[in-house]
Amino acid sequence: MPEIPKTYEPQKYEDKIYALWEKSGKFNPDNLKLPKNAKSYTIVLPPPNITDKLHLGHASIIAIEDLLIRFHRMKGFRALYLPGTDHASIATQNVVEKKLLKEQGLTRHDLGREKFLKEVWKFLRVTQATILKQARKMGGSFDWSREAFTLDVERKRAVTKMFLDMHKEGLVYRGKRIVNWCPRCKSTLADDEVEYKEEIGKLYWIKYGPFVLATSRPETKLGDTAVAVYPGDKRYAKMVGKKFMIPGVLGEFEITVVADKAVDPKFGSGAIKVTPGHDFTDYAIAQRHNIAMKQIIDEDGKMMANCGKYTGMTTLEARKAIAADMEKMGLIDHVEEGYKHNLAICYRCGTTIEPIPSEQWFLAVDKKLKRLGGKSLKEKALEVAKNGKIKFHPHRFTKRYADWMSNLHDWCISRQIWFGHEFPVWYRDSEPTYAKAPAGKQQKEIYVGEKAPRGKGWTKDPDTFDTWFSSGMWSFSTLGWPACAKASAGKPGKIIKTGDLARFHPTQVLETGYEILTLWVSRMIMMSLFALNEIPFENVYLHGMVLDSLGKKMSKSKGNGIDPMDMIEKFGTDAVRLSLLIGSTPGNDMRLSEEKIASFRNFVTKLWNIYRYCNHADSKFSLVEKINKKDLKSLSDRWLVSQLQKTIEEITRNLNEYKFSMAGEALEKFIWNDFADWYLEINKIEKNSKVLGYVLDKILKLSHPFAPFVTEKIWQDSSARHSFSGGGSSVHKILMVEKWPVADKKLLDKKSQVDFAHFQQTVTKIRNIRTNYHIDPGKTIQVFAKKAENKEVIEKLARIKIDVVSKINAKGIVVAGKNIKLTLAISDLIDVEKEKARLEKEIANLKSLVTKTEALLSNKNFVKSAPKEIILVNQTKLKEYGEKLKIQQELLKNCTY
């Protein structure tokens, strides 16, 4: 066999290893050799948008989900990791529109719907291929035979079926309501697709008949139909219920005064103008009090024909013009400059949102459904979270989810864009069928069905579904619904599942960012409850945002972004995965830097060097599955193997509890500290190849879900070397499907762990003396002792020479431990009195630093006002000062000059 390379170069091996996994077919759970009653473990990848390449958020999702999948696959579960991508209708259409305009100077309207959609599909085939390639680079063990796309044939069939079923039960309806409208995208947006940015503008105090009102939008006065006050407000009590004529820039108009709890009596004068057509709060007030609605802003964000001389102006132009005209008419009381308020903008293009009345398709979240036992989707979706059927990690997000669902309004599911799932709806004008219809007025006839209706004059609904409608079905539409689901006869709400749907749904985990808890998670729960009357997943694990090293949000404009593919090329996939797993906690943002990723490349290198050492230590080295107590020859053997059993238990427990960072830290501590820093150094004296083989076998398996590539490479090479030297078959199993280690209670040895801890303390004390007394590392310290267990090992690790004598006459520093007392004769190596004085001075200085830092951290004003980073720095300093102080005091105490 060739020599093992000195360095592990991931770029040489990773693609070959992934090809090996794919060729094995073991990504597909159908190919795993498992008993029929093996439990399933399913994760469906949150589908990345096909608008761009994978970013760190996606990389984090794959790292976490693949960790769980590989862990459960090794535990004997029928593990399915299902990949796919999202058509992301509005985002994709925006990207292609900008691309067309930049490259060809064309708009989508220049091309027409059919040609434009061809351009979109051409674009997405390229980006989709890139994303899928990148998902492979991240090491995701996806079952590619089940790959899905939110706009493929199967998902189109599922969306159509879902809409038809909902329409049949009266859950979806078409109506005219106020919606979030983006004039740039020419489409509605859901409430949770609206973002907000702080704007500093003007607050206009306007004279309004008998009132003086405050408003930031004087242009909407043209659509006012009421004034609202808080119930019981004595200032306006006599006005409630009355009508007033209000002077305006286009003449007088009538308003009604109503009392409503939506009014904040502390804002402005306590009375607000009500524009039901262009404000959600005002719309709700108008609905409660039966107030008329007047629309004055159109879908282009411009003033309509009923706005007189302001017709065609943008809202900002109209605001300026109307404010100027009101000033001339004496209708402005005063204007406040520097008024801060939140401006609603489109989450995709950043355009200011205009609330306008629009005829759309809505999903009624409060409608009681027989299939849900007389409960609404909202009620049922709240129930499954409150009763623990769905668990949120961290738990605090249960409340955020419940708060959102409790206040959820009917969901607008139609969008005025071309790319997306089309509505199975057709319209045609027909003569009125209702008795009191005005003469000659026509009404729209609506047909809802899978296929186009017969007859002439039908026009297909041009709108497309909100992208969250199809992605909300992701957990079950990817597993064969509706083909694999059938309603049970005579049992409302009971669904008989077959195929993949029966085996893999509900899924076990949804892992996603906390920012789309309301956008996506809530909708997935509702859609699954309607379609199957069951939850879509048992657990929701929410990761935070990946920030830069200073805690700032990454962005291209700031130049602080990190491309995961660049990092993979530089440091390898395992280093990237480890950097995203270790140091992160659910629901909290995490900081990431190139330096952190580089540090985990060092960990990967450490694994490789351990493998090299084991092979160099014994030419016939091989991995060992099992070991017996009789194979453990020394204290260090018994300690390490016992420590390994504890580590197996700790890692397994933490992974089962979604404590990925703690599991990774336990693994890192055992490999780097216990195995490499301590045991391997001792093994150079007390050689035991069988212990090496056993421990390396287990750490490769424990490390595999975290760092799959380097562990698989070592596993394959070890198997090849073993078979080459006559140790077995040349057909190698892949590590990915090996059994997860289980702690062997028989190998736990508490006494050895206690004894070795004392041994470590002794060696560590001597090392601290070397460091603190600045003794040349190359010099051997003369040591005297009456007895010394593990003499040769202590001498090597501490770089000392022990003379065992009956009586110790030499003076020096005493290091005492269990069953051992060593006197370090260092008077020839250091100036004793000078070092004692230095120690006393250092101790005094450290005590002062501890006192000052404790005082600072106990100061309530400091803790309240200081940035978190500063507080964290001081907490870290306090810990470091305390540790240094303890060492220095120990050194001074043990001086026996």
State the average pLDDT over residues 833-854: 87
More confident of the two residues 225 and 864:
225
Tell me the per-residue pLDDT of 3-13, one tens digit each, with 9 for 90 and over: 899 999 999 99
Among candidates 824, 749, 826, which has minimal Cα distance to 794?
824
More confident of the two residues 24 and 813:
24
Among candidates 422, 461, 499, which has minimal Cα distance to 159?
422
State the average pLDDT over residues 675-703: 95
DSSP state, 823? Answer: E
Grade residue 431 by pLDDT with cuts at 50, 70 and 90.
low
pLDDT number for residue 52: 78
Reduce the DSSP state of residue 219 to 3 states and report it.
helix
pLDDT number for residue 896: 53
| pLDDT > 70? residue 292 | yes
Grade residue 341 by pLDDT with cuts at 50, 70 and 90.
confident
pLDDT number for residue 1: 65
State the average pLDDT over residues 804-825: 83
Grade residue 443 by pLDDT with cuts at 50, 70 and 90.
low
Separation of first and last alpha carbons in the chain:
58
pLDDT number for residue 438: 45
Tell me the per-residue pLDDT of 551-567, one tens digit each, with 9 for 90 and over: 887 765 567 778 899 99
| pLDDT > 60? residue 154 | yes
Tell me the per-residue pLDDT of 593-625, one tens digit each, with 9 for 90 and over: 999 999 999 999 999 999 999 999 888 899 999
| pLDDT > 50? residue 155 | yes
pLDDT number for residue 437: 41
| pLDDT > 90? residue 481 | yes
Q: What is the percentage of the chain residues whose pLDDT exceeds 90?
A: 69
Q: Which amino acid is at 873?
A: V
State the average pLDDT over residues 64-85: 98
Residue 842's φ and ψ, nearest 5 degrees, are -65, -40
Tell me the per-residue pLDDT of 495-537, one tens digit each, with 9 for 90 and over: 899 999 999 999 999 999 888 888 899 999 999 999 999 999 9
Residues 6 or more apart whose CB falls under 8 angstroms from that of 192 comprise 518, 519
3-state helix, strand, coil in the chain (%, to 5): 45, 20, 35
Reduce the DSSP state of residue 254 to 3 states and report it.
strand
pLDDT number for residue 720: 84
pLDDT number for residue 721: 78
Question: Using CA atoms, how far apart are residues 836 and 842, in angstroms rounded to an integer?
Answer: 10
Question: Using CA atoms, how far apart are residues 769 and 783, in angstroms rounded to an integer?
Answer: 13
Tell me the per-residue pLDDT of 373-395, one tens digit each, with 9 for 90 and over: 999 999 999 999 999 999 999 99
Question: Using CA atoms, how far apart are residues 850 and 885, in angstroms rounded to an integer?
Answer: 9
Residues 6 or more apart whose CB falls under 8 angstroms from that of 94 comprise 185, 348, 349
pLDDT number for residue 171: 96
State the average pLDDT over residues 173-183: 89
| pLDDT > 90? residue 571 | yes
More confident of the two residues 788 and 542:
542
**Whose structure tokens read 């490479």?**
713
Q: What is the percentage of the chain residues whose pLDDT exceeds 70?
A: 96
| pLDDT > 60? residue 482 | yes
pLDDT number for residue 723: 63
pLDDT number for residue 848: 93
pLDDT number for residue 557: 58
Among candidates 56, 138, 65, 129, which has minimal Cα distance to 569?
138
Among candidates 659, 657, 660, 514, which has minimal Cα distance to 588?
514
- Which tokens is 99 given? 């691309």
More confident of the two residues 531 and 547:
531
pLDDT number for residue 434: 41
pLDDT number for residue 810: 74
Among candidates 184, 298, 306, which has minimal Cα distance to 250?
306
pLDDT number for residue 894: 63
Grade residue 192 by pLDDT with cuts at 50, 70 and 90.
low
| pLDDT > 80? residue 442 | no
More confident of the two residues 641 and 55:
641
Tell me the per-residue pLDDT of 247-278, one tens digit each, with 9 for 90 and over: 999 999 999 999 999 999 999 999 999 999 99
- Which tokens is 887 given? 């060492």
pLDDT number for residue 647: 98
